[in-house]
Chain A
């Protein structure tokens, strides 16, 4: 093995892991692992493990591996070796210390971005295997504190930021009032049954980034969309329970979201620029509930902007004049194929798009997704050091002239902010809606 870079596993910092692990016994660990493996997994896990020929070809897919100078412990299969293989080999007889390590690896050193699935010749879904590890960690009660707290917020409020029942409609009404200063008749129609579209967001928007709701309202208003937002639960499309392995809670959150839309009799749900939420409503949560596909079509913001611009419902007054580069978020590009539509939108609203490389399905993950950023400050440097390769990729785009980095995903946005800041990349960060709002024709 090479002289591997030291892993900066934060020891004892995470009270979710530490306190959770302090009550673990060998018996309990074995019981939970067996229960998950026997009752909750099937042909996929077994076939993946039996088929993997340990070739290491997935390694270069992983930004953690590349950023840690090819340290094999960060390769996708290396992470499986340190977690699932060991659990299988020892038939669940692993120590609490092992579980703590598995919690850190599965929750903070893998973004479940599925890039490795594109590099494995057999298409082995390592992100799925890491999700099973997270499920075991959840069942053992050793989930990192910050993301566990987020899951608790989901469980209580059905949103991820402890936004209380009154705070949500109050915020919408506040943003409506603000926006009426700009467009006097603008409305954020609440609970309008029979609207064409329900617009849903993630909780950081009302909590910290209310201007995004404002911008969305302006875009909807100018485009003449018949839309609504729910005043009660079901407005938040995010789902950190999907990433903590609390599948039951994931399903509950998705059910709430879809049934809110169903009750409002909308034909489609349009969601803001979020990646993981898209994955949860489009691909993961629906499946746990038995919906083969989303029961009500879910349209990601990229797709929606594409539609508005292409149909001429939104016209561009003057294109954004700084050269931009586009970060393709895993969950909407590798997970939803929206890369060409994103480029159509960017080219329609910006003078110049400078591609970063690799891009589209092959883009490097932001290292914040998959719930990693939600594990909170203790792991900030895990993400930042684990994504040096992203900084290099951004520097290269900047060298070609890019000034602004467009990231149509919340987690990517926050994660890349940290990377841009730490490595002093010197790019400004924007959502598509920031630019679209700025450059569109308004009355």
Chain B
């Protein structure tokens, strides 16, 4: 188990971050090259003003018609994404690892709060799962990969939670936690989790088209 831990926190962690960052850059670059090659006109319509006008509306809860139409989903979605990003970044246990390896550290979340935020992420995943199964319009467009993605996202949080509380087999869950976290990092550029990379661009493009060309709102 200890060797495995060494592997997971050593070479595999390196690999995961490499694939995550390299893969994201690669996806971004290929998208931009493709625009340049085949749809160059898109660049001419991009507008900073309207890109941000659109992005701001959509990253503020209840600032758009559709967010307002789905209050529960909106709250869950914003809570989910905020916790999804902040918890791993500001978890004390993670920062300790950075400190040990690189002697860098930063402000950390109180553990009890991090615990709550983890539950928010897991709870949101359950919410998404139920939504996927029970809402016909979501169920209709759901494929196996959607469940897999949900699992990929939930796994590091579930295992991390179990490991933190030292339930069941701690070393096993610690390793599972690290592994699932690495799987998620690797999956981001190459699954539909890539909406993390692309959505600012699709939003900005639509915002530019609506704002600068169509003189209309897109929210």
Cα separation A56 to B137 with both chains bound (whole Å): 6
1/0 per residue, CB under 8 A from A, across B18-37: the answer is 00000000000001101101
Which of the residues B35, B136, B192 comes within 8 Å of A51, measured between beta carbons? B192
A122–B203 CB distance below 8 A: yes
With A43-B35, A54-B146, A60-B69 as contacts: A337 and B137 at CB distance below 8 Å: no
Interface residues of A in 55-73 (CB under 8 A from B): 55-57, 59-61, 65, 70-73
B192–A56 CB distance below 8 A: no
How many whole Å from B216's CB to the nearest CB in chain A?
5
With A60-B69, A334-B214 as contacts: A53 and B195 at CB distance below 8 Å: yes
1/0 per residue, CB under 8 A from A, across B133-145: the answer is 0011111111100
A123–B207 CB distance below 8 A: yes
A207 at the interface (CB under 8 A from B): no
Cα separation A75 to B213 with both chains bound (whole Å): 26
B194 at the interface (CB under 8 A from A): yes
Which of the residues A2, A50, A337 comes within 8 Å of B136, measured between beta carbons? A2
Return the chain A residue nearest B199 by Cβ. Answer: A122
Interface residues of A in 291-314 (CB under 8 A from B): 292
Cα separation A2 to B136 with both chains bound (whole Å): 6
How many whole Å from B5's CB to the nearest CB in chain A?
33
A287–B41 CB distance below 8 A: yes
Interface residues of B in 32-52 (CB under 8 A from A): 32, 34-35, 37-39, 41-42, 44-45
Give every chain B residue within 8 A of A52 (Cβ-Cβ).
Answer: 192, 195
A118–B65 CB distance below 8 A: yes
B2 at the interface (CB under 8 A from A): no
Interface residues of A in 27-51 (CB under 8 A from B): 41-44, 46-48, 50-51
B170 at the interface (CB under 8 A from A): no
A56–B141 CB distance below 8 A: yes
Which of the residues A81, A117, A335, A339 comes within 8 Å of B140, measured between beta carbons? A81
Cα separation A334 to B210 with both chains bound (whole Å): 8
Cα separation A365 to B143 with both chains bound (whole Å): 30
A81–B141 CB distance below 8 A: yes
Interface size, B (range): 35 or more
Which of the residues A43, A53, A118, A362 comes within 8 Å of B42, measured between beta carbons? A43
How many whole Å from B2's CB to the nearest CB in chain A?
38
B31–A118 CB distance below 8 A: no
Which of A70, A121, A125: most chain B Cβ within 10 A? A121
Interface residues of A in 326-341 (CB under 8 A from B): 333-339
Give every chain A residue within 8 A of B56 (Cβ-Cβ).
Answer: none
With A51-B202, A56-B141 as contacts: A292 and B44 at CB distance below 8 Å: yes
Cα separation A274 to B138 with both chains bound (whole Å): 36
Give every chain A residue within 8 A of B146 (Cβ-Cβ).
Answer: 53-54
Return the chain B residue nearest A338 by Cβ. Answer: B215
Give every chain B residue within 8 A of A287 (Cβ-Cβ).
Answer: 41
B136–A361 CB distance below 8 A: no
How many whole Å from A297's CB to the nearest CB in chain B?
14
Give every chain B residue within 8 A of A73 (Cβ-Cβ).
Answer: 140
With A51-B194, A77-B141 as contacts: A1 and B136 at CB distance below 8 Å: yes
How many whole Å from B195's CB to the nearest CB in chain A?
5
Cα separation A243 to B207 with both chains bound (whole Å): 23
Cα separation A78 to B136 with both chains bound (whole Å): 10
B217 at the interface (CB under 8 A from A): yes
How many whole Å from A60's CB to the nearest CB in chain B?
6
1/0 per residue, CB under 8 A from A, across B197-212: the answer is 0110111011100100
With A72-B140, A72-B141 as contacts: A125 and B206 at CB distance below 8 Å: yes
Cα separation A440 to B167 with both chains bound (whole Å): 81
Return the chain B residue nearest A61 by Cβ. Answer: B66
Return the chain A residue nearest B143 by Cβ. Answer: A54
How many whole Å from B140's CB to the nearest CB in chain A?
3
B103 at the interface (CB under 8 A from A): no
Cα separation A260 to B121 with both chains bound (whole Å): 61
Cα separation A337 to B211 with both chains bound (whole Å): 9
Cα separation A119 to B149 with both chains bound (whole Å): 23
A438 at the interface (CB under 8 A from B): no
A333–B34 CB distance below 8 A: no
Which of the residues B38, B198, B218 comes within 8 Å of A42, measured between beta carbons? B38
Cα separation A2 to B39 with both chains bound (whole Å): 39
Which of the residues B44, B54, B198, B214 comes within 8 Å of A50, measured between beta carbons? B198
Cα separation A48 to B198 with both chains bound (whole Å): 9
How many whole Å from A223's CB to the nearest CB in chain B?
24
List 20 other contacts, CB 8 Å, given A337-B216, A361-B216, A361-B218.
A1-B136, A42-B37, A44-B42, A50-B192, A51-B192, A53-B195, A54-B141, A56-B140, A57-B73, A65-B137, A70-B136, A72-B140, A75-B137, A75-B141, A77-B141, A81-B140, A118-B219, A123-B202, A123-B218, A338-B215
8 tightest Cβ-Cβ pairs between the two chains A and B: A337-B215, A123-B206, A42-B38, A72-B140, A43-B34, A56-B138, A56-B137, A59-B137
Please list 26 pairs of residues, one from A and one from B, whose beta carbons are closer than 8 Å in the complex, sorted by A's number. A2-B136, A47-B31, A47-B198, A47-B201, A51-B195, A51-B202, A52-B195, A54-B138, A54-B141, A54-B192, A70-B137, A73-B140, A118-B219, A122-B199, A123-B58, A123-B202, A123-B203, A124-B206, A125-B206, A287-B41, A292-B45, A335-B214, A335-B216, A336-B216, A339-B216, A361-B217
